[in-house]
């Protein structure tokens, strides 16, 4: 099913299904998808189905359409997970045929006296259906057919699984007076187990806690047929069942909930009252009720999975939008952790990225709101697997789940050990090797305690693609604004932002400090130890400056061995402390190049922006302070107000 989902705009959450017909979007109400936005054209775009693909075309090039944050220049074939923006509306394109809801319907006539129409989803084998209906015909047909009609109406009136199961148990207890306890089990894919999801005990029953007989469940699952034990104590099939004896179960019925040959779960009822026994006609009636219930449960389960998936796609679209607002790698990395925790509901996640030396840097995330850190042994294993994913450019999905029917009814630990790692594809044109990964994303330990599934892998792969795009944009931005040697901002960036902050300081009367600094006797060190040593000193100094300045500070290479730092919203006293901290850090740093220690110091000139200052006058005063620091003996801070 292909559809567009609004993730930003006036109709957030609304979805528009796409068909083989041409879909138009624009401000005019005659469009397939009308948008109340006067900034866009009457018919701004069209989406056309072409060989199972959907192609987006901008019909009004004067007004931009942005696909994944990039202006649309020519017709574009939409991919699952793409976002595109028309005016103020942001759409998410979803195209996953496997998630189409298959709604089954069951019709039961309340007027027929001899027949029962049901869907083809049935827990009985075909050869047994006729005999089952014949036996049912000899019972109190009017009452039971009326009950089945009521079952169909009641349980199909809600898509909420909890309400559905509660209503089903209420009907069973109403129609079977000799039922003491009942429980419904459904298959949990994340744990590969049949788990009890709803239970009920009749008033007056002493032992209300239902302990389901695994022996009976296994027999029911193996044959995919309903099981009746009229008297469990003398039933040869279950003589070895300890749970039957321990629970003092006198009689039990277990009916599989079947949908298209798949066992969704079971309805299990028993009686622990002496002298109470279930009969074959009751088993047949419970089977008929379960047929109806299985249809509703399958539909409710599909609806919930679909709803959850759509919500995750919306969260994914918001993450993509968030990434597109950042042009610095550090901010992208920080933002990623927040979105990973939300989309995948996990306890731990990790980002692995290749650096310029072709080595991998690891960024482990842990939720602050939850106690506990990464287990060191597990952390080492995941690091090694991340390296493998980057090298092979293939995802890894690991869990200790075993899809073995013999284990479906066994108890297991609350938590499933599971983690998922996907590669981050390169989106940069500078990387020559095609299909190369630039990193990997890992998620571990679902908060639900279950395992990661293929649906999780698909979502994480889409997110990794968007991270790859954001990082590629950050690399391009970095090349334009960051000095390749020192990794601080270039001179042009410095001047642009200093002008902006000087204007802001005057307008909002906020203090602004400018530091100009110079490595002492750098030329002498360059001549003595060589240019490579000089480059090393500049690189280390760039790291020290960034480390000792707040996140809102701007560190730039002014030229040669000279650096500058802009400190917005900083008083003179705080500026002095920062300058002194930077000077001390350089003086105490062990500059060791090829085994040789090279002592380095820094002279700093400081100026505080005044109301009458321009960019040039502020720089001139800071430069004058720097000159006095060097003339006064170097390795010191001089302040000129």
Its sign, for the CA torsion 163, 165, 170, 175, is positive
Enumerate the H helices of 76-181 as residue ranges.
126-137, 141-155, 161-175
Rounded to an integer, what distance in angstroms lies between the CA atom of residue 622 and that of residue 558?
13
- Sign of dihedral through CA atoms 321, 322, 328, 332? negative
Rounded Cα distance, 498 and 566, in Å: 7
Neighbours of 39 (CB within 10 A): 11
Question: Of the candidates 187, 323, 321, 325, which has an alpha carbon nearest to the alpha carbon of residue 257?
Answer: 187
Q: Are 350 and 442 in contact (CB under 8 A)?
A: yes
Between CA 215 and CA 239 the distance in angstroms is: 9
| Residue 181, SS3 per DSSP | strand
Provide the 10 A C-beta neighbour count for residue 368: 6
CA distances 357 to 231, 258, 361, Å, are 74, 57, 10
Determine the Cα–Cα distance for residues 83 and 260; give it in Å rounded to an integer.
35
CA pair distance 102, 81, nearest whole angstrom: 22
The dihedral region occupied by 368, where left means phi > 0, alpha psi between -120 and 50, and beta the remainder, is: alpha
Nearest alpha-carbon partner for 116 in 82, 96, 139, 86: 139
The residues that bridge with 514 in the sheet, in sequence order, are 566, 607
Which DSSP state fits 35?
A: -
Please state, in angstroms and rounded to a whole number, the distance separating the CA atoms of residues 473 and 584. Answer: 36
**Exposed, middle or buried, 455 (CB in 10 Å: 0-12/13-18/19+)?**
middle
375 - beta bridge partners? none
Q: Which of 378, 392, 456, 444 has the alpha carbon at shortest distance from 423?
A: 392
> Which position among 175, 458, 540, 561 bears the catalytic label?
561
Integer Cα distance of 442 and 462 in angstroms: 13
Q: What is the CB-side half-sphere exposure of residue 399 using CA atoms within 13 A? A: 24
Give the H or E element holding residue 254: strand 251-259
Locate 491 and state its tokens: 């001179």
Q: How far apart are CA 630 and CA 519, in angstroms?
A: 10
User: DSSP labels for 66-99?
Assistant: EETTEE--S-EE--TT-EEEETTEEEEEEE-GGG
Contact 68, 82 (CB under 8 A): yes
For residue 112 the two structure tokens come to 């027929």
Integer Cα distance of 495 and 499 in angstroms = 6
624/108 Cα distance (integer angstroms): 94
Sign of CA dihedral 599, 575, 479, 361: positive
Per the annotation, the verdict on 429 as an active-site residue is: no
Tell which residue, 259, 268, 265, 255, has the closest CA to residue 295.
Answer: 259
Residue 390 class from Cβ within 10 Å (0-12 exposed, 13-18 middle, 19+ buried)?
buried
Active site residues per annotation = 561
């Amino acid at each position: 099913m292909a559809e567009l989902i609004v993730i930003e705009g006036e109709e957030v959450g609304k979805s528009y299904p796409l068909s083989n017909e041409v879909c138009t979007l624009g401000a005019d109400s005659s469009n397939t998808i009308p948008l109340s936005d006067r900034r866009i054209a009457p018919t701004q775009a069209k989406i056309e189905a072409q060989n199972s693909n959907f192609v987006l075309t901008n019909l009004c090039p004067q007004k931009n359409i942005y696909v994944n944050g990039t202006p649309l220049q020519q017709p574009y074939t939409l991919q699952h997970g793409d976002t595109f923006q028309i005016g103020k509306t942001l759409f998410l394109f979803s195209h996953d045929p496997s998630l189409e809801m298959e709604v089954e319907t069951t019709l039961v006539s309340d007027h027929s006296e001899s027949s029962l129409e049901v869907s083809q989803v049935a827990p009985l084998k075909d050869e047994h259906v006729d005999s089952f209906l014949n036996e049912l015909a000899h019972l109190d047909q009017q009452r039971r057919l009326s009950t089945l009609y009521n079952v169909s109406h009641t349980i199909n009136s809600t898509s909420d699984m909890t309400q559905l199961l509660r209503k089903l148990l209420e009907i069973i207890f109403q129609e079977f007076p000799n039922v003491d306890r009942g429980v419904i089990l459904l298959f949990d894919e994340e744990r590969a187990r049949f788990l009890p999801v709803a239970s009920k005990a009749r008033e007056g029953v002493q032992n209300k806690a239902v302990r389901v007989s695994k022996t009976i469940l296994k027999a029911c699952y193996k044959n995919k047929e309903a099981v009746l034990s009229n008297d469990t104590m003398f039933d040869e099939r279950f003589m070895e069942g300890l749970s039957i004896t321990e629970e003092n179960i006198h009689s039990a019925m277990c009916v599989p909930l079947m949908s298209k040959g798949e066992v969704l779960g079971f309805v299990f009822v028993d009686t622990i009252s002496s002298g109470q026994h279930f009969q074959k006609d009751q088993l047949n009636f419970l089977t008929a009720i379960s047929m109806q219930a299985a249809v509703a449960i399958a539909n409710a389960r599909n609806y919930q999975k679909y709803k959850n998936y759509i919500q995750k796609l919306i969260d994914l679209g918001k993450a993509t939008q968030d990434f597109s607002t950042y042009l610095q790698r550090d901010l992208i990395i920080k933002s990623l952790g927040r979105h990973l925790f939300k989309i995948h509901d996990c306890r731990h996640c990790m980002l692995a990225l290749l650096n310029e030396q072709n080595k991998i840097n690891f960024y482990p995330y842990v939720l602050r709101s939850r106690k506990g850190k990464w287990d060191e042994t597990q952390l080492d294993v995941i690091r090694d697997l991340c390296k493998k994913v980057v090298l092979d450019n293939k995802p890894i999905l690991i869990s200790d789940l075993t899809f073995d029917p013999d284990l479906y009814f066994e108890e297991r630990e609350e938590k499933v050990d599971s983690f998922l790692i996907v590669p981050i594809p390169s989106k940069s044109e500078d990387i020559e090797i095609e299909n190369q990964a630039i990193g990997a994303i890992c998620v571990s330990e679902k908060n639900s305690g279950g395992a990661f599934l293929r649906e999780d892998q698909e979502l994480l792969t889409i997110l990794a693609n968007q991270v790859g795009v954001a990082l590629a944009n950050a690399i391009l931005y970095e090349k334009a604004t960051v000095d390749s040697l020192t990794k601080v901002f270039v001179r042009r960036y410095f001047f642009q932002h200093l002008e902006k902050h000087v204007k802001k300081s005057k307008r909002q009367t906020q203090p602004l400090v400018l530091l100009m600094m110079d490595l002492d006797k750098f030329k002498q060190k360059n001549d003595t130890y060589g240019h490579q040593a000089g480059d090393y000193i500049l690189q280390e100094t760039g790291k020290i400056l960034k480390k000792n300045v707040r996140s809102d500070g701007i560190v730039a290479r002014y030229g040669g061995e000279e650096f500058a730092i802009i400190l917005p919203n900083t008083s003179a006293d705080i500026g002095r402390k920062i300058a002194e901290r930077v000077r001390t850090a350089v003086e105490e740093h062990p500059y060791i190049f090829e085994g040789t220690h090279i002592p380095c110091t820094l002279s700093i000139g400081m100026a505080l922006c005044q109301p009458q200052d321009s960019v040039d006058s502020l720089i001139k005063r800071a430069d004058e302070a720097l000159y006095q620091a060097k003339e006064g003996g170097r390795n010191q801070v001089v302040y000129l107000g």
